[in-house]
């Protein structure tokens, strides 16, 4: 009898541990899964990294994750069809087809307003130091949109308005972290220059080199970088008033090493811009190709259907990138990790395996951001960052996340 009780207790303990493990595992899956997925019309719902999950449809039918649905509906994902994991909305749409880029392009942006990159004291005629901008409540990283009701597009114009104030208050409209407010700037007459000063440094434009990720061959809308363009001094996302994409030739490469990121070096080529840049978002820099550029690129670039995020899995992949001249080459890579739940620019961890790229660049270098990633004949995403501790590895963003803002 005593033995029987011990067996029962042991079995109960084992069952309890088993349920704890199962429900703990279910919690892990829940944290790794998105709340909504899009599936190509007429295709099965597939979670490439989680084949062990099953779906329960609205009619309470337990089916494999590869079950096919129509329209939009709510499904419950469960572990082995037993332990509910997460409710997910399934949408259906035609997978768009994009032309991959991999080509470098020059970025010239004129900001919407001027960005404050630093504050400094001004010495007045009495030898007293003060910072008018700081007194007005302005901080580094703020974007000044208006001055006395006038829209600002240049540093010079702001200084002209401050100089012309003769010490009178200049009314400024300021944006900070999405919030717009007004402040009054009281200029100080500089003892050194005899000019009215606001006590701040501002920037109205920015230039650099990036890689085009992909474009729509029908409309000419394109996206590059896979991450936003940020001000080097403040780290803030640069607001775009207008911009242009210009031809670039890669002339040199600084090889990356552990702890020291490499860099593509190039120069803006002669010739007209091949497109306008109109939006700077967390998922990349967006624009529209000119008619001539669209025709030329469409003839040279390969087209791939876009992979929806849940189709992407760990395993072999390819990237298209330019490390010399103006034309991209294809290199082998490995997707090491996929994060379905992340809406950021770090949805994947990717490792370069191509010996040519490793020998020439050490792996991923600055300037390669935006290089498209292709897996199983579909456009999976683009490289966004390099791991400084290991330049052979870096992060990537899903093409689906970039395509959401393409038009």
Active site residues per annotation: 227, 354, 369
Instruction: Name the strand (E) or helix (H) holding 19.
Output: helix 2-32
| 250 DSSP β-pair partners | 266, 325
Distance of alpha carbon 142 from alpha carbon 172, whole angstroms: 11
Grouping H, G, I as helix, E, B as strand and the rest as coil, residue 99 is strand
Backbone angles phi, psi at 101, to 5 degrees: -95, -95
Instruction: Name the strand (E) or helix (H) holding 299.
Output: helix 291-300
Sign of CA dihedral 194, 198, 200, 205: negative
Distance of alpha carbon 227 from alpha carbon 394, whole angstroms: 13
For tokens 């919690």, the residue is 27
How far lies 384's CA from each of 180, 333, 366, in Å? 30, 14, 9
Closest CA to 331 of 342, 323, 339: 323
Distance of alpha carbon 369 from alpha carbon 374, whole angstroms: 15
Grouping H, G, I as helix, E, B as strand and the rest as coil, residue 284 is strand
Distance of alpha carbon 370 from alpha carbon 348, whole angstroms: 13
For tokens 């279910």, the residue is 26
Structure tokens, 391: 């330049």
């Amino acid at each position: 009898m005593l033995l029987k009780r011990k067996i029962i207790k042991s079995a109960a303990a084992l069952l309890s541990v088993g349920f704890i493990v199962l429900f703990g595992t279910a919690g892990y899956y829940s944290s790794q899964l998105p709340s909504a997925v899009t599936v190509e019309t007429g295709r099965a719902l597939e979670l490439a990294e989680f084949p062990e999950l099953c779906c329960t449809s609205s009619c309470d039918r337990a089916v494999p994750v590869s079950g096919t649905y129509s329209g939009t509906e709510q499904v419950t994902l469960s572990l082995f069809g037993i332990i509910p994991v997460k409710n997910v909305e399934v949408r259906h749409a035609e997978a768009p087809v994009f032309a991959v880029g991999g080509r470098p392009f020059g970025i010239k942006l004129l900001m919407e307003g001027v960005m404050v990159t630093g504050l400094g004291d001004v010495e007045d005629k009495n030898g007293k130091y003060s910072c008018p901008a700081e007194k007005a409540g302005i901080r580094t990283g703020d974007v000044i949109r208006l001055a006395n009701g006038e829209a600002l597009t240049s540093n010079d114009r702001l200084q002209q308005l401050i100089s012309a104030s003769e010490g009178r208050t200049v009314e400024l409209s300021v944006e900070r972290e999405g919030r717009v407010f007004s402040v009054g700037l009281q200029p100080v007459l500089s003892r050194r220059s005899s000019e009215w000063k606001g006590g701040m440094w501002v920037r109205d434009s920015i230039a650099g080199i990036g890689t085009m990720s992909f474009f729509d061959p029908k409309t000419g809308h394109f996206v590059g970088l896979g991450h936003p363009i940020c001000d080097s001094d403040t780290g803030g996302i640069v607001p775009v008033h207008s911009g242009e994409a210009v031809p670039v030739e890669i002339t040199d490469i600084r090889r990356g090493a552990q702890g020291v990121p490499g860099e593509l070096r190039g120069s803006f080529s002669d010739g007209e811009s091949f497109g306008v840049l109109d939006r700077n978002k967390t998922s990349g820099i967006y624009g529209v190709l000119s008619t001539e550029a669209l025709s030329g690129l469409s003839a040279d670039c390969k087209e791939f259907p876009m992979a929806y995020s849940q189709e992407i899995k760990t395993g072999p992949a390819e990237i298209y990138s330019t490390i010399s001249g103006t034309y991209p080459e294809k290199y082998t890579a490995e997707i090491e990790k996929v994060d379905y739940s992340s809406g950021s620019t770090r949805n994947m961890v990717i490792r370069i395996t191509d010996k040519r790229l490793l020998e020439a660049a050490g792996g991923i270098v600055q300037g390669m951001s935006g290089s498209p990633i292709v897996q199983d004949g579909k456009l999976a995403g683009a490289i966004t960052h390099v791991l400084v501790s290991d330049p052979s590895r870096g992060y990537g963003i899903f093409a689906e996340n970039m395509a959401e803002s393409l038009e």
